[in-house]
Chain A
């Protein structure tokens, strides 16, 4: 996996649209249409519950509408970074409320246990490799156990389609620190899903 955005569908740059959207209603509407699916997906993955996620998405775009005139970026990348920073802060603010966190925790597969095998077959389908397929509630619950910053990093990378550099700017860290945190976090997750790996289940680094 390169440091490009994980998604193969990289949005077409439209810097002019971003600049126009500061003062042009129609351009702002187009920008909304373009980015709503990305933000909705990110918030939905991070918050698990669709209704809660939609509330946060609403908050995010209302903030964007309020502040777009003062936004100083000139490129789509700038806007994207700004947008996901707002989204990440909004999600984090929501998660900081322990009651809500508990609700999400309970909602995320209360009866499911971690410890199922992570697919280590190097590309084959887990079921083909003879492992159980993990479902999202189980993964989500494991991610929810991470600290807030690590949650943000993992989610931005895999559901926000952000590069390491973009994540670094969003969480206010260096790209190196993001890579280190991401590696550590993925290792931890792997251990959670596969707590007692045997020698044959170890990942063999490729190329």
Chain B
């Protein structure tokens, strides 16, 4: 018999000899039974009522977070839903090149394009594939419609409005720190030229990948690998207009976006880009830093992750690692009872901090040879290297330690179990469930 078994046996014996007053209770049991069954009926009825708003996706996920994380399929659902807290923002503001901004450049590169319609298929790691109807109106305005929600982006105004009809909620994101005056022509002007010149492109960044029939059109394809994204462009050689753009984005969560069915210079109403929240909707706002990622963002992300994880660094710098932190944190807060809008907003802020910092790490070029070794390391393990990389143009290594100090050193740390990070050009495509 182990020591603990001895202790337990001893305490059990002690309790066996304790007289408990367990009288009563039957009356309460009976009266509560009626109330409980009435509550059961009420929820059953509300589920059948079509006008009843659905339980918020994030609340559903978080309520059952601990339960969900034990099972493979529900775990994907948990990751899916909690991921949206990050992804909903990431998709429009990933800290650098966004899908919206990318298309802005595309539109700018296509001469005289003032408006456009196109379709997007978005696959975020662990989530079902989503189909989005997208509209563009110069300058820099986008509208993305997906089931139950609408995102409106106005890059000039620095605002993004996410409207969730089923919950009658609006989230306004105030975009801060965006680079002003940044040229919008180079990337997609090249695209146009490349498409027009077909396979004669000489730019080393683009790899011709042949021709293919897409949507009844003969399209020529090129691939562009950058730390931020791996992009495949299919364009109509005859007109220079895009036919399909497939992109796999680094960062959290790993995301694949396919844009297709482009219609250029079509009628698009200004009113569709109005940033006024619908009447009667609850409005929340949050500031989003869209400036280029820096090392300090990674330090802030590590600090936040440790706060959520009882002083330990996350197991991995990927979606699964981050979701585990977020869900565990939410469950510890007792979300079965109460997870308020304020809690949700706080979680969103923390997710943004983590998303930016990990984005810095995950969008490094391959030449940086970035490594992560934070698994099972505690914040107070002062001298433990948890992350290192080779800054561009330097011969030294930049090392971040568990106490979140950073130093330049001559040689890369040798840590057992350290994992080299991969950006989108090397990553597998995200798997939808």
Residues in B with CB closer than 8 Å to A78 are 67
Cβ contact within 8 Å between A89 and B334: yes
Q: Roughly how many angstroms separate A67 CA and B154 CA in the complex, as a whole number?
A: 39
Q: Roughly how many angstroms separate A4 CA and B210 CA in the complex, as a whole number?
A: 65
Q: Roughly how many angstroms separate A67 CA and B41 CA in the complex, as a whole number?
A: 12
Residues in A with CB closer than 8 Å to B13 are 119, 123
| CB of A52 within 8 Å of the partner chain | no
Name A73's closest neighbour in chain B (CB-CB).
B67
| CB of B416 within 8 Å of the partner chain | no
Cβ contact within 8 Å between A136 and B14: no
User: In the complex, how many residues of chain B place their beta carbon closer than 8 angstroms to a beta carbon of chain A?
Assistant: 51
Cβ contact within 8 Å between B6 and A66: no
Tell me if A's interface is mostly helix, strand, loop or mixed.
helix
Cβ contact within 8 Å between A40 and B29: yes
Stretch at the interface among B58-66, B294-302, B359-367, B419-427: B58-66
Cβ contact within 8 Å between A57 and B28: yes
Q: Roughly how many angstroms separate A169 CA and B328 CA in the complex, as a whole number?
A: 12
Cβ contact within 8 Å between B18 and A135: yes
Q: Which of A40-72 contact B (CB under 8 A)?
A: 40-41, 44, 50, 54, 57-58, 61-72
Q: Roughly how many angstroms separate A186 CA and B4 CA in the complex, as a whole number?
A: 9
| CB of A95 within 8 Å of the partner chain | no
Name A23's closest neighbour in chain B (CB-CB).
B44
| CB of A101 within 8 Å of the partner chain | no
| CB of A141 within 8 Å of the partner chain | no
Tell me if B's interface is mostly helix, strand, loop or mixed.
helix
Q: Which of B14, B29, B32, B47 has the most CB of A within 10 A?
A: B14
Q: Roughly how many angstroms separate A41 CA and B29 CA in the complex, as a whole number?
A: 12
Interface string of A161-205 (1 = CB under 8 A from B): 000000001001000000100110011011000000000000101
Q: Roughly how many angstroms separate A81 CA and B66 CA in the complex, as a whole number?
A: 10
| CB of A29 within 8 Å of the partner chain | yes
Name A33's closest neighbour in chain B (CB-CB).
B33
Least distance between B37 CB and chain A CB atoms (Å)? 6
| CB of B267 within 8 Å of the partner chain | no
Binding site for A on B (CB under 8 A): 1, 3-15, 17-22, 24-25, 28-29, 32-33, 35-37, 39-41, 43-44, 47, 55, 60, 63-64, 66-68, 70-71, 74, 328, 331-332, 334, 336-337
Given contacts A71-B67, A157-B8, 9 further A-B contacts (CB under 8 A): A32-B36, A32-B37, A70-B63, A134-B14, A135-B18, A139-B18, A182-B7, A183-B7, A186-B10
Binding site for B on A (CB under 8 A): 1-2, 6, 23, 25, 28-29, 32-33, 36, 40-41, 44, 50, 54, 57-58, 61-73, 78, 81-82, 85-86, 89-90, 92-93, 118-120, 123, 125-127, 133-136, 139, 157-158, 169, 172, 179, 182-183, 186-187, 189-190, 203, 205-207
Give 10 nearest A-B pairs by CB, closest first. Answer: A65-B39, A1-B8, A186-B7, A65-B40, A1-B9, A89-B334, A61-B36, A1-B5, A207-B1, A65-B36
Instruction: List 23 A–B pairs whose Cβ atoms lie within 8 Å, in order of A's numbering.
Output: A2-B5, A6-B8, A25-B40, A32-B33, A32-B37, A40-B25, A61-B32, A62-B39, A71-B67, A72-B68, A89-B337, A119-B13, A125-B17, A127-B17, A133-B17, A135-B18, A139-B14, A158-B11, A172-B331, A183-B7, A187-B7, A190-B10, A205-B1
